[in-house]
Amino acid sequence: MSDESRTVVRDFRRDDREAVIEVMVASFRAFGPVDQVVGTDRRARDRRRRMFEMSLDERGRQHVIVAERAGRIDGALTYVDWPDCTPGIRDRLGAVRIAGPRLPTLIRDFRRVGTAHPTTPHRHLPALGVRPEAQGRGLGGLLMAEYVRRCDESGLEGYLETIRWADASRRAQERLYERHGFSEAAVVPMTEDWSMVTMTRPAAGAAGV
């Protein structure tokens, strides 16, 4: 039996919270945009955890889909609909507390990427994570398939941000997103090592789809 056939993709439940946080913390280690917020020192992992705890707060606006294999959550995807994807006051204050001395860099990055963010109705995908030991088994593809199905069902354009490394040998996610109908919308230079790539996908039934 294949890994895919043994995987259940479903909505997040309250008792999934700890497992989803662990998936995200592990998945986003040494990831440029997150490192800009949490740093790279010995306390970076704790800050990264706090960041995902904040995003999964019960008062939060994000929806979560999980991929569960053999009773364990190995992958998760979050999405939020416009205009709720625009950070609110509570989100900004939380980011300030986590970023600390990295705040000027965070503000700069928000401004740069904000210029490429759609201002029309869309469904934003902030995070897709798979445990490192479970990568390469198709879990990211299963989560993406469910996400785009929901976009089409709601008639919403999909939107996401990913990174493109200056070192072309480093693994990038663009091809995964392209397989699910996304195309490049803008490239925003961020550091010497990486640029932010914004990608969009029209909802099925829209003109040209």
Q: State pLDDT tens for residues 67-92.
A: 999 899 999 999 999 998 877 666 67
Top-confidence residue, 35 or 57:
35
Whether 208 is in a domain gets the answer no
Name the percent of the chain lying above pLDDT 70. 91
pTM strictly above 0.85 = yes
Whether 207 is in a domain gets the answer no
Residue 58 has what pLDDT?
58
pLDDT of residue 31 exceeding 80: yes
Whether 209 is in a domain gets the answer no
Whether 148 is in a domain gets the answer yes
Q: State pLDDT tens for residues 147-191.
A: 999 999 999 999 999 999 999 888 788 999 999 999 999 999 998
138: left (phi over 0), alpha (psi -120 to 50) or beta: left
Average pLDDT in the chain: 89
Report how many domains make up the chain. Answer: 1
Whether 41 is in a domain gets the answer yes
Q: State pLDDT tens for residues 137-146.
A: 999 999 999 9
pLDDT of residue 21 exceeding 90: yes
- Rounded to an integer, the average pLDDT of 50-74 is 88
CATH number for the domain harbouring residue 105: 3.40.630.30
Residue 1 has what pLDDT?
44
Whether 117 is in a domain gets the answer yes
Which 3-state string (H, E, C) describes the chain?
CCCHHHEEEEECCHHHHHHHHHHHHHHCCCCHHHHHHHCCCCCHHHHHHHHHHHHCCCCCCCEEEEEEECCEEEEEEEEEECCCCCCCHHHHHHHHHHHHHHHHHHHHHHHHHHCCCCCCCEEEEEEEEECHHHCCCCHHHHHHHHHHHHHHHHCCEEEEEEEEECCCCCCCCHHHHHHCCCEEEEEEECCCCEEEEEEEECCCCCCCC
Query: Domain limits at 99?
Result: 4-201
Residue 52 has what pLDDT?
92
Residue 208 has what pLDDT?
44
Sequence letter at residue 111: R
Name which of 44-53, 128-137, 140-149, 199-208 the model is least confident about: 199-208
Whether 83 is in a domain gets the answer yes
Q: State pLDDT tens for residues 104-139.
A: 887 888 788 888 899 999 999 999 999 999 999 999
- Rounded to an integer, the average pLDDT of 16-21 is 96
